[in-house]
Amino acid sequence: MNFIKNILKSRTEKDEIFLVSIKNIIGYKPSSLRYFKKAFTHSSVKKKTSTGKVVNYERLEFLGDALLSSAIAIYLFNEIPQGTEGDLTQMRSKIVSREHLNEIGKDLALINFIVSNVPKKNFGDNIHGNMFEALVGAVYLDKGFNACEKFIHKTVIEPYVDIERLEGKITSYKSVLIEWSQKVKKQINYDVYEDTGNDVIKHFSVKLFINNEILAKGRATSKKKAEEIASKRAYYKLQDIISL
């Protein structure tokens, strides 16, 4: 009993805030904060353990990169049974590209948690993807592969992966709609606004108007994604007309 009390006492108010933030991002209460603290520790801090081991996110980044690749490969293998080795490899590369991972890291606002001696403004875009990979590694060490795979589905696959787009059927629903509207001389507008609500992570909502009438809506963690979601919904409403 005293042992448990000591553990609770040792957790600071800052730790409690960090715990709640991480829980909201990963979807469960961490068993331990140490992996997650390491996931956001930059090498510029030059932190070491009592035995002299370096403490920063770089090894977790390496681990997370491998786990992401594996989880995405399993998903694509199951979802696209007709896909060739070359097709699946190309699709996986698009999903785990540095640009895409940077975008995910930005959407999750992971830069807010970094501990560094380098000013945030001096970091390049890759810091966002690096921290996301480190976070994936931390989830794996904290709860194992099943929890890690679930986290990847939640943060990467569900919000970002569109099998049809990956297969090259439609690369941008927004582009299709704009091209169609210009062809048939219809006015298309996107009304985008911040719609965070009770969410910790910032969200944006969009209303898609055609000739000043609302045709579809979308909501996502970035303006671009919200527009694309609304465009996809509008496309399917107008599919028969657009196909003519």
Query: Are 98 and 190 within one domain?
Result: no
* 200: its two tokens: 């910790």
Domain end among 133, 162, 191: 162
For position 80, what pLDDT does the model report? 92
For position 9, what pLDDT does the model report? 47
Taking the chain (244 residues) in runs of 10, the rounded mean pLDDT of each run is 48 87 94 95 92 94 97 96 88 88 92 93 92 98 97 93 74 87 93 78 90 92 90 87 71
From 61, 103, 107, 133, active-site residue = 133
Q: Is residue 56 part of a domain?
A: yes
**pTM (whole model) above 0.75:** no
Query: Are 37 and 141 within one domain?
Result: yes
SS (H, E, C) 58-113: HHHHHHHHHHHHHHHHHHHHHHCCCCCHHHHHHHHHHHCCHHHHHHHHHHCCHHHH
What's the CATH code of the domain at 137?
A: 1.10.1520.10
Domain end among 128, 162, 196: 162
Query: Are 36 and 133 within one domain?
Result: yes
From 61, 65, 103, 227, active-site residue = 65
Query: Are 132 and 182 within one domain?
Result: no
- Domains of the chain: total: 2
For position 240, what pLDDT does the model report? 78
For position 221, what pLDDT does the model report? 87
Q: CB atoms < 10 A from the CB of 54, how many?
A: 12
- Quote the DSSP letter at residue 118: S
Query: Are 179 and 93 within one domain?
Result: no
Query: Are 198 and 124 within one domain?
Result: no
What's the CATH code of the domain at 203?
A: 3.30.160.20
| Residue 240 annotated among the catalytic residues of the structure | no
Rounded to 10 degrees, the C-alpha dihedral 8/14/15/17 comes to 110
Q: In terms of Cα–Cα distance, which of 240, 224, 244 is closest to 104?
A: 224
Q: Is residue 1 part of a domain?
A: no
Query: Are 93 and 157 within one domain?
Result: yes
Tell me the backbone φ, ψ of residue 41, rounded to 5 degrees.
-95, 115
For position 90, what pLDDT does the model report? 83
For position 163, what pLDDT does the model report? 82
| Residue 133 annotated among the catalytic residues of the structure | yes
Q: In terms of Cα–Cα distance, which of 164, 188, 158 is closest to 175?
A: 188
Please answer whether residues 28 and 140 qualify as being in contact, where contact means their C-beta atoms are separated by less than 8 angstroms.
no
Query: Contacts from 19-22 at CB under 8 Å and sequence distance 24+?
Result: 21/113, 21/200
Query: Are 26 and 138 within one domain?
Result: yes
For position 31, what pLDDT does the model report? 93
Q: Is residue 114 part of a domain?
A: yes
Please answer whether residues 103 and 29 qualify as being in contact, where contact means their C-beta atoms are separated by less than 8 angstroms.
no
- The arrangement of strands across the sheet holding 188-194 comes to 188-194, 204-210, 213-220
Please answer whether residues 229 and 241 qualify as being in contact, where contact means their C-beta atoms are separated by less than 8 angstroms.
no
Query: Are 23 and 50 within one domain?
Result: yes
Query: Are 23 and 88 within one domain?
Result: yes
Please answer whether residues 193 and 205 qualify as being in contact, where contact means their C-beta atoms are separated by less than 8 angstroms.
yes
CA distance to 65, 190, 227, 228, 230, per residue, from 216 (Å): 36, 10, 10, 11, 5
Q: Is residue 2 part of a domain?
A: no
For position 6, what pLDDT does the model report? 47
Query: Are 78 and 123 within one domain?
Result: yes
First-to-last C-alpha distance (Å) of the chain: 73
Distance CA 161, CA 91 (A): 10
Query: Are 57 and 126 within one domain?
Result: yes
Name the residue range of residue 149's domain: 10-162
